[in-house]
Amino acid sequence: MTAGAALADGEVNIYSYRQPELIQPLMDTFTKETGIKTNVLFLDKGLVERIAAEGANSPADLILTVDIARLTEAKEGGVTQPLNDERINSQIPAQYRDKDGDWFGLTTRGRVVYASKERVTENTITYEELADPKWKGKLCMRDAQHSYNIGLFASMVAHHGAEYTEKWLAGVKQNLARKPDGNDRSQAKAIMAGECDISLGNTYYVGLMLTNEKDPEEKEWAAAIKVLFPNTADRGTHVNVSGMALAKNAPNMDNAIKLMEFLASDEAQGIYAEKVFEYPVSPKAKPSDIVVGFGTIKPDSLALTDVAANRKVASELVDKVGLNEGPSN
Domain co-membership, 114 together with 229: yes
Please check whether residues 260 and 231 belong to one and the same domain: no
User: Phi and psi for 109 in degrees, rounded to 5?
Assistant: -135, 140
Residue 292 lies in a domain: no
CA–CA gap between residue 234 and residue 246 (Å, rounded): 35
Do 223 and 251 fall within a single domain?
no
User: For position 4, what pLDDT does the model report?
Assistant: 42
Residues 219, 248, single domain; the answer is no
Same domain, 66 and 16: yes
By the 10 Å C-beta count (0-12 exposed, 13-18 middle, 19+ buried), 303 is classed as middle
pLDDT higher than threshold 80 for residue 225? yes
Please report whether residue 18 resides in a domain.
yes
Whether the per-residue pLDDT at 8 is higher than 60: the answer is no
The residue-averaged pLDDT of 237-245 equals: 95
Question: Predicted confidence band at 2 (pLDDT cuts at 50, 70, 90)?
Answer: very low
The answer to whether residue 35 sits within a structural domain is yes
Overall domain count for the chain? 2
For the chain, how are helix, strand and coil distributed in percent, rounded to 5?
45, 15, 35
Evaluate if residue 142 carries a pLDDT over 70.
Answer: yes
Residues 181 and 310 both lie in one domain: yes
67 and 123 fall within a common domain: no
Across 16-30, 134-148, 192-206, least confident range: 16-30
**291 within domain boundaries:** no
Kindly tell me the burial class for residue 189, based on how many C-beta atoms sit within 10 Å of its own C-beta (0-12, 13-18, 19 or more). buried
pTM (2 d.p.): 0.88
Average model confidence (pLDDT) across the chain: 94
Whether 247 is covered by a domain: the verdict is: yes
Q: How many CB atoms lie within 10 A of CB 171?
A: 18
* 190 & 114 share domain: yes
Is residue 228 situated within a structural domain? yes
Domain contains 293: no
In this predicted structure, the answer to whether residue 256 has a pLDDT above a threshold of 90 is yes
Distance CA 180, CA 201 (A): 13
pLDDT at 80 over 60: yes
Asked if residue 271 is part of any domain, the answer here is: yes
Structure confidence at residue 1 (pLDDT)? 46
Task: Identify whether residues 24 and 46 lie together within a single domain.
Answer: yes
Same domain, 167 and 216: yes
- pLDDT tens for 24-72 read 999 999 999 999 999 999 998 899 999 999 999 999 999 999 888 899 9
Cβ–Cβ under 8 Å, residues 102 and 84: no
**Residues 183 and 321 reside in one and the same domain:** yes
For position 329, what pLDDT does the model report? 65
Which of 3-17, 101-115, 292-306 bottoms out in mean pLDDT, i.e. has the lowest? 3-17
CATH code: domain of residue 174: 3.40.190.10
Phi/psi class of residue 183: alpha, beta or left (left: φ > 0; alpha: ψ in -120 to 50)?
beta
Q: Identify the pLDDT of residue 6.
A: 43
For 28, the domain range is 5-107+241-286
Separation of alpha carbons 239 and 141, rounded Å: 17
pLDDT band at 9 (very low <50, low <70, confident <90, very high): low
Please indicate, yes or no, whether residues 61 and 88 belong to a single structural domain of this protein: yes
Closest to 43 measured CA to CA, from 56, 53, 34: 53
What is the per-residue pLDDT across 268-317, written as a single tens digit (0 to 9) for each?
Answer: 999 988 888 999 999 889 999 999 999 999 999 998 889 989 999 999 99
